Chains A and B, each alone.
Chain A
Amino acid sequence: MGYKTINEANEAVIQKIVAAAPFLTDVVPAKSVIPELEEHVLLHAGPPIKYENMTDPMQGSCVGAILFEGWAEDEAGARELLENDKITFIPCHHVNAVGPMGGITSPNMPVLVVVNKETGNEAYCQMNEGIGAVLRFGAYNEQVINRLHWMKDVLGPVLSKALKTIEGGLNVNVLIAKAIAMGDEFHQRNIAASLAFLKEVAPIISALDDVEKEQRTEVIQFLADTDQFFLNIAMATGKAMMDAAATIEHGTVVTAMCRNGENFGIRIAGMGDEWFTAPVNTPQGLYFTGYSAEDANTDIGDSAITETIGVGGVAMIAAPAVTRFVGSGGFNDALETSNQMTEIFIGENPNFAIPTWDFKGACLGIDARKVVETGITPVINTGIAHKVAGFGQIGAGTVNPPIECFEKAITAYAEKLGFTE
C-alpha cells in the first residue's frame, strides 16, 4: 500500500515504532536463530565491510571470535584464515541482529532474543561482557576467551531458564519507562535499567533449582557488576522496533544507523534494505587518563540503533548524570541538545516520557529530509575504543553521522518517486 504524501508515510512508520511491544524472551546460541551463522561465518557491526578495511579493534575481535569458536589454534592461525578470505562476513543488520562496537558475533555466542509482539519479528544481540579487556573493543587474550566461554556455558543458559519462567517474557518497554525516570538514556547510561533488569531476574535466578548455587551466584554477581548490561537489551529492542517499522517501506524515516569503523550507514523506510554510507567521523569526548584523541578509533558499532529509536545521545536530557562524562557540558547543554534534536525528529514517543524534559516523550522518528534541510545530524553517545586492538575503551563522547548518508538517502528516494533534475 502506498501513501499520498511523504508525511503520511512517515506517520505510518512512527506509529509502528510507538506500537511496538518488545519483550525479552530468551538467550540462545546465535546459530540457533541465525541460520546464516555457519562454520567460518562471522557477523560484524555496521554496513558491509571487507576484512582488510576493518580497523584494528574489529580485526582483533575477529581473532578473538575465531579462537573462541576453535576454528584456529592461535592468533597466527586465526589471522591466516582471515587474511586468506576463509571467513565470510555478514553485517549483523542483515540477519535481524545488532552488535556493539565491532559487533563480531560467532555461531556459538549466546544472543539475547527480543520479540516485538506487535508484529512478531525477533531481533538479536550478544550480551554485554562488562568493561576492561573485552572482545567488542578488540581484545582477545585468554581472559576474554574464557569469559566468552563462561557466557556461553553459564550466563546464557541461566538467563534463558530465568526468562522462560516469566510468561511471555520480560516487557522491555516497562523497563525502559522505569529507567528513563531514573536517569538512563540507554546508550551511555544503562545503570538504572540494568538494575531494574537485575531486580526482575535475581529472585528467579536464586530459585532455579537445577542450577548449581555457585553458578547462580556468579551470574548474579556478573549482572550486578555490569552497569551496561542493559545496553545490549536496548539494542536488540531498538532493532526489533525499527525492523517492524521498516516494513512500511515508504517515507523518509531513518530505520537504521550503524558504523563499521570505515563507513557510517543508514537506511530509510522508503528505500528498504539499501545502505547509504559515507566515511565515519571520530568521536569527540573525554578520555581516560593517559589517552587522547590521537589514540581514538573511528566511530564503530551498531549501538546507534538506540539513537534511531530516539534515546541515547538524542535523549541526553534524560541522563543529566552522564552529560559531563561524554563531554557535552552541563544540564542546559543537554537540554539544548535534546531540544535541537526535535527539529529532525517527527514526533514524541508517548511510551518514553522523560521527567527532566517536562515529561515530553523521547524523540520519535528521524526524518532524513529534516536532517538535510537543517544540517542538524543526530547526536550519538558512544564509547571510544583505542585504535589498537586489545586496549579496550579509552573514553566516551559523542559523534555525529556524516550528513552525506542522509543526502544520498533522500536523493535516492526522490529519484525512486520520479524526481529528475
Chain B
Amino acid sequence: MILEASAIGSIALELLIEGKKFTVHSIFEKGWNIIDCNGELIFLGTDENGTFPFGILLDQQTKQTVRAGITAGDTFIVRNHRLSHSRFDIQFDHAKMLPLNMDFEHANINKLKENMQQISFESYESTDFELARVSELIHKLQDSSENVEADFRYFIGRGQGLTPTGDDILVGILYGHFIHPFIAPNHLETLANLIKEPLTTTVSQRFLTCAIKGLFSSKITKLQYDSSLESMKSLIKVGSSSGKDTLYGICMTLKKE
C-alpha cells in the first residue's frame, strides 16, 4: 500500500538517505519511532504531541493503518523517495517541510511570564525537582565559572516515563535560553557531551540533542507566536507529564531575576 506523509522535519529528511535501513524501535499510541544503525531516531506519527524536527507527520488514517501492521524490529528501507516496509510504502517526496520555528525573537516574554502565573507548579516541591533545586541549576548556568556537570547528571534520565522528568525540565530550560539567552556556552557544551553518554533513553536523548541546537517540538515553539494560556495548556497535555515538566523548566527560567 502506498501512503503519503503529510510533512517532514528537516532532521528526519537529512536521515532519509536512499538505501538506508531503519528498524522499528518503539510503538506508541500516537506513532512510532524508527532508528538507523547509528541510533539516530525518527518519529512517525500524528501531531497530537506536536511536530518535531526529527519527525515525519502522518494523518490519523495513515498512522492507524501502518501502526496496526508493524511490530517492533520491523525494517523500513528508504527507496525511491519512499520509506518502504514489506507491507507499506510511505511516500515523502510530496510532503511539505516542517518549519524549524527558530525565530525565537518573536516570543513575548512578559506575556509568557504573566500567563504562567496562573499555572501552579507547587506539586514539584514534593518531588526530586523542587523549585529550589531547579532555580539553583538555572542560577549556576549563567555563571561560566560554576561546575554544573553533577547537576546535569542529577537531572538527565531522572524520573518517570520514556522521557524522564529531569530531561523534560532541561528541554524547558533550554527553550527558555533560546528565547532569552542566559546559559554560558561552556555549560551547553558540557550538556552536549553528557548527552552522548548512555544516561537516558534513546528517545529522550533525541529531544535533548535537538533542544541544544534550538530545535523544539511545535507544541513548545507555539509559545513564541501565541503566549496565551491556551498554548500552555496544550503543551501540558503532551505525554503523561512531559509537557508540564517542560513548561516547568521554561517557567523557572523566565522567573529568574
Chain A in direct contact with chain B (Cβ < 8 angstroms): yes
A351 touches B69 (CB 8 A): no
- Residues of A contacting B89 with CB < 8 Å? 350
A350 touches B87 (CB 8 A): yes
Tell me the bound Cα distance from A351 to B2 in angstroms: 7
Quick one: which of B1-56 are within 8 Å of A by CB?
1-2
Tell me the bound Cα distance from A19 to B84 in angstroms: 13
B80 touches A359 (CB 8 A): no
- Could you say which interface size class chain A belongs to? 10 to 19
Main DSSP-derived SS at the A contact region = strand
- Residues of A contacting B1 with CB < 8 Å? 350, 353, 359, 361
A350 touches B80 (CB 8 A): no
Given known A350-B1, A350-B2, A353-B1, contact A360–B80 (CB-CB < 8 A): no
B86 in the interface, Cβ–Cβ < 8 Å? yes
Quick one: which of B78-107 are within 8 Å of A by CB?
79-80, 84, 86-89
A359 touches B69 (CB 8 A): yes
- Residues of A contacting B88 with CB < 8 Å? 350
Nearest CB to that of B89 among chain A residues? Answer: A350
A279 in the interface, Cβ–Cβ < 8 Å? no
Given known A350-B1, A359-B1, contact A19–B80 (CB-CB < 8 A): yes
Given known A350-B2, A351-B2, A353-B1, contact A359–B79 (CB-CB < 8 A): no
Smallest CB separation, B2 vs chain A (Å): 5
- Residues of B contacting A351 with CB < 8 Å? 2
Chain A to chain B contacts (Cβ below 8 Å), 8 pairs: A15-B80, A348-B86, A350-B1, A350-B84, A350-B87, A350-B89, A351-B2, A359-B1
Given known A351-B2, A353-B1, contact A360–B87 (CB-CB < 8 A): yes
A348 touches B87 (CB 8 A): yes
Tell me the bound Cα distance from A353 to B66 in angstroms: 13
A347 in the interface, Cβ–Cβ < 8 Å? yes
In the complex, how many residue pairs between chain A and chain B have their CB atoms under 8 Å apart?
Answer: 21
Tell me the bound Cα distance from A360 to B89 in angstroms: 12
Tell me the bound Cα distance from A359 to B64 in angstroms: 13
- Could you say which interface size class chain B belongs to? 10 to 19
Tell me the bound Cα distance from A132 to B86 in angstroms: 42
Closest 9 CB pairs of A and B: A353-B1, A350-B89, A350-B1, A350-B2, A348-B86, A348-B87, A360-B87, A347-B86, A350-B88
Given contacts A15-B79, A348-B86, 6 further A-B contacts (CB under 8 A): A15-B80, A350-B87, A351-B2, A359-B69, A360-B87, A361-B1
* Chain A 335-361 interface mask (CB, 8 Å, partner B; 1/0): 000000000000110110100000111
Nearest CB to that of A19 among chain B residues? Answer: B80
Tell me the bound Cα distance from A351 to B91 in angstroms: 13
- Residues of A contacting B84 with CB < 8 Å? 350
Tell me the bound Cα distance from A353 to B88 in angstroms: 9
Tell me the bound Cα distance from A308 to B86 in angstroms: 19
- Residues of A contacting B2 with CB < 8 Å? 350-351
Quick one: which of A1-39 are within 8 Å of B by CB?
15, 19
Tell me the bound Cα distance from A353 to B1 in angstroms: 6
Nearest CB to that of B2 among chain A residues? Answer: A350
Smallest CB separation, B84 vs chain A (Å): 8
- Residues of B contacting A360 with CB < 8 Å? 87
Tell me the bound Cα distance from A361 to B89 in angstroms: 11
Tell me the bound Cα distance from A380 to B1 in angstroms: 24
- Residues of B contacting A361 with CB < 8 Å? 1, 87
Tell me the bound Cα distance from A15 to B87 in angstroms: 14
- Residues of A contacting B65 with CB < 8 Å? 359
Tell me the bound Cα distance from A350 to B91 in angstroms: 12
- Residues of B contacting A353 with CB < 8 Å? 1
Query: Of residues B1, B86, B89, which shows the largest number of chain A Cβ atoms within 10 Å of its Cβ?
Result: B1
- Residues of B contacting A359 with CB < 8 Å? 1, 65, 69, 87
